[in-house]
Chains A and B, each alone.
Chain A
C-alpha cells in the first residue's frame, strides 16, 4: 500500500530500484505478518472457544455455539467449577511442588557430581543414566505397578513423586552441561576460602546455573501437572486424584453443562500456561539444547 507514492522519477533508476526493493520488503513482511496472524488465530481457535464457552450461559451456548463473544459474561461459571475441582487442584499443586523441588535437588547434586568430580565408575554411571532414558515409559510402568503393589504404595501419592524425583535423567543432563560451563576459578577461590564441597555446590555453584534450574523446574512442573498414566494406574480413590485425571474420569458427574466443563478445563490449562509464559526463555533454551545434541 505504501508502494505507489514511493515510485521515484524514472531518471533516477537506481534509487527507484532501491525504493522498489524496500517496498517489496515491507510488503513481504506485512504478508508474513498477516499469514502468521491468520494461521495463529485458526490454530488457537479451540483454546479461544474454550474461554468464550466457559463464560457463556447454557442458552447462549445452545443458540450461538460458534460465537466467540458471550452474550453476557458469566464469571460465576468459574466459581461454580472451582468448587468442584478444588480438592483435585490442591492435589495437583502439592504434587507439582514436591516434584519440582525434589527433581532440582537430586538432579543438581548429580549434575554437579558428574560435571566436576573424577571417580571410578563415573562413566559407567553416567552411561547408565543416559541409557535408561531410551526405555519407553510403558516398559517401566507395569513392573513399577507390580513393585508398588507389593510395598503398599498403590492408592497413595508416593508413586506420583518418588520415582520422578529419584530419576530426573533429563534435568541431570541439562544441569551437568550448565555446571561444565562455569569457570573453575570460582570453585578454586572458594576452596581457598575454606568452603567444603557441599558448601561450594550450594553457595557458589547453584546460583551460577539458575537458567538451567529454571528450565528443569518448568519441565518438571509441566510434566507433573499433565501426567496422566501415573494417576490413572496408581490412584484408585477419588479424593487423591489429580486435576487432569479427575477431569477425564468424572467430569460427567460434576459438570452438567458445557460451560462448567470448559471453565474447569480452562483452570486446568491456565496454571501451566502462566508458568510457561513466565519461564518461556529457559524452557525454549532447554528444548533447543537437547535438540542440538
Chain B
C-alpha cells in the first residue's frame, strides 16, 4: 500500500523541480497539513470528548455512589452492583423480560426480513422498489404514533378483537392481560423494525453473482437447493450483521414499552431500560441506574463478543 508510487511520478530522480521541493520543506508542510487536519476534525473530537468521554467518566463515578441529584453523593464502592444482583427482585424480572423479548423478537424479525428480502428481490424493478418501500415505512415512523395506533388495535373492544369476533374467536384484553401484553409488544416491535434488516439483506442478495445460480441450475439444483446452498451461505455476512445489530437494539427496547404499556400490567412488560429509566427519573436513584447501565453495556459486550467468536463457524466471507 505505501509503496504505490509509480516510476513515472514522484520518484523520478532526474526531475529538477521535484527534488528540492521535497527536501527543503517537508517538516513545515507536514506541520501545516497537521494543523489543517486537526482544524477539520476538531469540532467532532471536542464533541466526542465533551458529550461522550466525559459523561462516561461521570457515569463510572456515579455508579459507585449514592447519587440522587439532591443530596451530596456518598462513595459506596460496588454496593450498587451488589445490591442489584443480590436483593433487587425487579432487576431480575426486567432482565428476564428483556431476554424473553429478545429471544422472541429476533427470529421473528430476521426470518421475516429474509423472506421479504427474497420476495422483494425478484424480477421487475418497479415492483421491487414499491414493495420495499411499503415494508420499510414503519421503520422511519415515530414509535409514539405507531404505539398509539396499535393501542387502538389492542383495546378489549378494539380493532383486533372485533376482527376476531367476526370469525367467532373472543380475543384477550391484550395490553392489560398479563399473558398477552408481552407478545403484543413483541409483535409491534418486529413490525416496526423489519425494514432495516430487510434492506441490508436485499443489498446482500444483489451482491450474489447471477452466474452462480445459472451454474447450479445447469447442474440440476432446484430452487430450494439453490436457496440453501448459494443464497444462505453467501448471505451470512449480512445475516451476522443484522443479528448483532438487532440483538443490541432489542436489549435496549424502551420507547414502545413507554408508549404502549408503561411496563404493565404489573411487571409483565417491564424491560431492563424501562426499569433503569424509572430508577433514575422516578425514584431518583441515579447511582443505581448508572450501575444498571454499565451492567447492560457489559452484557451487550459479552453477547457481541460471543457472536464474534462464533461467526467463524458459520459466517462465510468470500474474499
A3 interface contact, C-beta 8 A: no
In this complex, what residue of A is CB-closest to B140? Answer: A276
Within 8 A of A (CB), among B1-39: 30, 33-39
Query: Is A225's CB under 8 angstroms from B142's CB?
Result: yes
Query: Is A147's CB under 8 angstroms from B54's CB?
Result: yes
Query: Is B144's CB under 8 angstroms from A145's CB?
Result: no
Query: Is B135's CB under 8 angstroms from A40's CB?
Result: yes
A222 interface contact, C-beta 8 A: yes
A132 interface contact, C-beta 8 A: yes
- A sample of 26 inter-chain contacts (CB < 8 A) reads A50-B149, A113-B36, A113-B38, A113-B39, A122-B41, A128-B45, A138-B252, A138-B293, A139-B59, A139-B294, A140-B52, A141-B293, A143-B62, A145-B280, A163-B47, A167-B44, A229-B254, A229-B255, A232-B258, A244-B144, A262-B152, A265-B145, A272-B140, A288-B199, A288-B202, A292-B237
Residues of chain A with a CB closer than 8 A to B124's CB: 29
Residues of chain B with a CB closer than 8 A to A121's CB: 38
Query: Is A143's CB under 8 angstroms from B37's CB?
Result: no
**From residue B48, how far is it (CB to closest CB) to chain A in Å?**
6
A226 to B124 alpha-carbon distance, docked (Å): 33
Query: Is B142's CB under 8 angstroms from A132's CB?
Result: no
Query: Is B69's CB under 8 angstroms from A228's CB?
Result: no
Within 8 A of B (CB), among A21-50: 29, 32-33, 35-36, 39-40, 43-44, 46-47, 49-50
Residues of chain B with a CB closer than 8 A to A233's CB: 281
Q: With contacts A113-B40, A136-B297, A163-B51 known, is A142 near B142, CB below 8 A?
A: no
User: What sequence of 0s and 1s flags, for each residue 127-151 of chain B, a beta carbon within 8 Å of any chain A beta carbon?
Assistant: 1000111111110111111111110
Query: Is A122's CB under 8 angstroms from B296's CB?
Result: no
In this complex, what residue of B is CB-closest to A159? Answer: B51
Residues of chain B with a CB closer than 8 A to A142's CB: 59, 62, 280, 286, 289-290, 293
Number of interface residues of B (CB under 8 A): 94
Query: Is A117's CB under 8 angstroms from B120's CB?
Result: no
Segment of A12-20, A72-80, A104-112, A184-192 engaged in the interface with chain B = A104-112
Residues of chain A with a CB closer than 8 A to B131's CB: 36, 40
A65 interface contact, C-beta 8 A: yes
User: What sequence of 0s and 1s flags, for each residue 83-112 of chain B, a beta carbon within 8 Å of any chain A beta carbon?
Assistant: 000000000000000000000000000000
Query: Is A167's CB under 8 angstroms from B145's CB?
Result: no
Q: With contacts A118-B37, A143-B56, A167-B52 known, is A245 near B242, CB below 8 A?
A: no
**From residue A17, how far is it (CB to closest CB) to chain B in Å?**
15
Query: Is A132's CB under 8 angstroms from B145's CB?
Result: no
B77 interface contact, C-beta 8 A: no
Query: Is A47's CB under 8 angstroms from B149's CB?
Result: yes
Query: Is B135's CB under 8 angstroms from A269's CB?
Result: no
Residues of chain B with a CB closer than 8 A to A280's CB: 133
Between A40, A222, A291, the greatest number of chain B beta carbons within 10 A of the residue's beta carbon is seen for A291
A10 to B162 alpha-carbon distance, docked (Å): 55
A141 to B207 alpha-carbon distance, docked (Å): 38
A46 to B188 alpha-carbon distance, docked (Å): 10
